[in-house]
Amino acid sequence: MSIFCPICKTEFKGEDRVILDEFNTLSHIQCNKEVPFPVKDYGLFEEIEETYEFFSKDEAKDE
Ligand SMILES: [Zn+2]
């Protein structure tokens, strides 16, 4: 599953620096440098993707 930055429309790559906002939306740090909204997390895309498993799952798991 590919995830695209909603601002520049570019697919995220492993070493892109990204931010995760309070709505669980990912975008590039460089695309948001002038937007001081609350940020939930930030770092390399590959790290964020690992930390937040929902990015790599396209279907909810059964409980
Ligand atoms: Zn971007």
Q: Which three-class secondary structure state does DSSP give residue 48? A: helix
Q: pLDDT category, 39, cuts 50, 70, 90?
A: confident
Residues 43-61, mean pLDDT to the nearest whole number: 77
Q: How many residues does the chain have?
A: 63
Q: What is the pLDDT of residue 59?
A: 56
Span from the CA of 44 to the centroid of ligand 1 (angstroms): 13
Residues 12-29, mean pLDDT to the nearest whole number: 92
Q: What is the pLDDT of residue 13?
A: 95
Span from the CA of 35 to the centroid of ligand 1 (angstroms): 13
Residues 36-47, mean pLDDT to the nearest whole number: 86
Span from the CA of 59 to the centroid of ligand 1 (angstroms): 25
On average, the pLDDT of the chain sits at 84
Q: pLDDT category, 16, cuts 50, 70, 90?
A: very high
* Contacts (Cβ under 8 Å, ≥6 apart) of 7: 27, 28, 31, 32
* Closest of 56, 26, 23 to residue 43, by C-alpha: 26
